């Protein structure tokens, strides 16, 4: 379990940090941090995005409190649950691949760049939300565990020292059925999401987004089902996901009260959550690695797509650790040979 950054942990260093750094030096560290964060941050166009006027001051308060205490700047990212269950159209399989590998490299690089100016360091906690949704999406506990184990192995193999993992299992008594305990603990067991969807535009938008996601992610399950029945099933699952997510979000906040909360979802960045991109790409909307296949150009540029949309005339499948890993662009000379051989 990753450490909790409570006040007592760093009270011993508080006087030392203030003696070592002037206010001007602390400000320079903050400016360095936010500059590096901008490289991974997801932003909406103005005026939708509210980071500069609202979110940035909130982020600064969180980061400056840690700098003043000479504490590691810790970011917590709820993410990396498991691979999409749709391995027919969306992903290569059940285990991490090049998409997750690129994401880990990006997060590790960010932490290292922050640490260049801030010796106490920067830490990235990946708080898996796999136990929140796996049963709703038909992902077995054994598949979830295998994904988590391989993520840990990937980080260790790469020598990433700034990334750690946490999960709901570390905070419940009943690991076989943790959801009721979490919902009860954070008083969300009896929330009426039907009413909230009707009266709260933001909640309604989230609900609609979840429904669209479920239509795609569970596509093989809908074969032979009417569209009305499919939408009814998606709506029921979406409400359960939203309900659970409220409790899970409260757990993350409670477990890491001093950390900077980041997310793979796009926000207006007014805070307290700030969106990031795990895999940058030149065009299209950035996607999460566990819902994607990576196609890499010869120059190393990555593209995240659904498996069904891979251009197999341009990209070749590659393997690593004995499993499908991703796609790389075929050299142009080979493409010309293949084209000429068909005529």
Q: Where residue 70 sits, what CATH number does that domain have?
A: 3.40.50
The pLDDT score that the predictor gives to residue 303 is 94
pLDDT > 90 fraction of the chain, expressed in percent and rounded: 76
Look up the pTM and report it.
Answer: 0.88
* CA–CA dist 136, 240 (Å, integer): 8
When pLDDT is cut at 50, 70 and 90, the band that residue 335 belongs to is: low
Same domain membership, residue 148 and residue 232: no
Query: Does residue 11 have a pLDDT over 50?
Result: no
The pLDDT score that the predictor gives to residue 252 is 98
What is residue 202's DSSP assignment?
H
Same domain membership, residue 200 and residue 113: no
- Domain limits for position 108: 7-171+258-280
The pLDDT score that the predictor gives to residue 265 is 85
The pLDDT score that the predictor gives to residue 46 is 79
Same domain membership, residue 105 and residue 148: yes
Tokens matching residue 119: 């010796």
Same domain membership, residue 108 and residue 31: yes
* CA–CA dist 192, 199 (Å, integer): 11
* CA–CA dist 82, 61 (Å, integer): 33
Question: What pLDDT digit, counting tens, does each position of 195-219 carry?
Answer: 999 999 888 988 998 999 999 899 8
The pLDDT score that the predictor gives to residue 97 is 98
Same domain membership, residue 163 and residue 41: yes
Q: Is residue 28 part of a domain?
A: yes
When pLDDT is cut at 50, 70 and 90, the band that residue 333 belongs to is: low
Q: Is residue 56 part of a domain?
A: yes
Asked whether 221 and 37 are in contact (CB, 8 A), the reply is: no
- Could you tell me what percentage of the chain is helix, strand and coil, using 3-state DSSP and rounding each to the nearest 5? 50, 15, 35
* CA–CA dist 191, 180 (Å, integer): 13
SS3 (DSSP) at 287? coil
Asked whether 261 and 59 are in contact (CB, 8 A), the reply is: no
Same domain membership, residue 138 and residue 215: no
Query: Does residue 10 have a pLDDT over 50?
Result: no
Tokens matching residue 163: 């990334």
- Give the phi and the psi of residue 167 in degrees, each rounded to 5: -155, 165
pLDDT > 70 fraction of the chain, expressed in percent and rounded: 90
Please, what is the average pLDDT of the chain? Answer: 90
Same domain membership, residue 61 and residue 19: yes
* CA–CA dist 68, 66 (Å, integer): 5
Same domain membership, residue 241 and residue 128: no
Q: Is residue 338 part of a domain?
A: no
Q: Is residue 204 part of a domain?
A: yes
Same domain membership, residue 107 and residue 67: yes
264 contact partners, CB below 8 Å, separation of at least 6? 77, 79, 275, 276, 278, 288
Place of tokens 């603990």: 185
Question: What pLDDT digit, counting tens, does each position of 27-83 carry?
Answer: 999 999 999 999 999 888 878 889 999 999 999 999 999 999 999 999 999 999 999
């Amino acid at each position: 379990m990753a450490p909790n950054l409570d006040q007592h942990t760093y009270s011993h260093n508080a006087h030392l940090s203030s003696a070592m750094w002037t206010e001007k030096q602390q400000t320079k560290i903050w400016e360095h941090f936010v500059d590096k964060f901008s490289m991974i941050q997801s932003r909406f166009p103005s005026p939708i995005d509210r980071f500069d006027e609202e979110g940035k001051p909130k982020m600064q308060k969180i980061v400056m409190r840690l700098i003043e205490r000479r504490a590691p700047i810790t970011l917590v990212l709820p993410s990396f649950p498991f691979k999409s269950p749709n391995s027919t159209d969306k992903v290569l399989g059940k285990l991490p691949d090049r998409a997750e590998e690129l994401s880990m490299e990006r997060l590790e690089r960010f932490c290292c760049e922050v640490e260049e100016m801030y010796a106490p360091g920067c830490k990235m906690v990946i708080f898996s939300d796999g136990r929140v949704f796996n049963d709703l999406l038909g992902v077995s506990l054994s598949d979830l565990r295998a994904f988590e184990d391989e993520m840990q192995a990937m980080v260790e193999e790469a020598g990433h020292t700034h990334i750690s993992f946490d999960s709901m299992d570390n905070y419940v008594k009943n690991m076989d059925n943790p959801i009721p305990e979490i919902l009860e603990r954070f008083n969300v067991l009896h929330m009426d999401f039907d009413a909230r969807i009707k009266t709260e535009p933001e909640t309604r938008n989230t609900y609609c987004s979840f429904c669209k996601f479920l239509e795609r992610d569970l596509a093989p399950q809908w074969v032979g089902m009417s569209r009305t029945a499919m939408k009814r099933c998606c709506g029921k699952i979406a409400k359960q996901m939203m309900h659970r997510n409220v409790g899970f979000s409260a757990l993350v906040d409670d477990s890491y009260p001093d950390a900077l909360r980041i997310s793979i979802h796009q926000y207006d960045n007014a805070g307290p959550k700030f969106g990031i991109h795990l895999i940058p790409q030149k065009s299209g909307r950035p996607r999460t690695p566990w819902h994607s296949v990576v196609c890499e150009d010869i120059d190393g540029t990555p593209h995240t797509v659904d498996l069904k949309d891979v251009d197999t005339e341009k990209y070749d499948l590659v393997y690593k650790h004995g499993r499908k890993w991703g796609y790389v662009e075929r050299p142009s000379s080979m493409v010309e040979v293949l084209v000429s051989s068909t005529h």
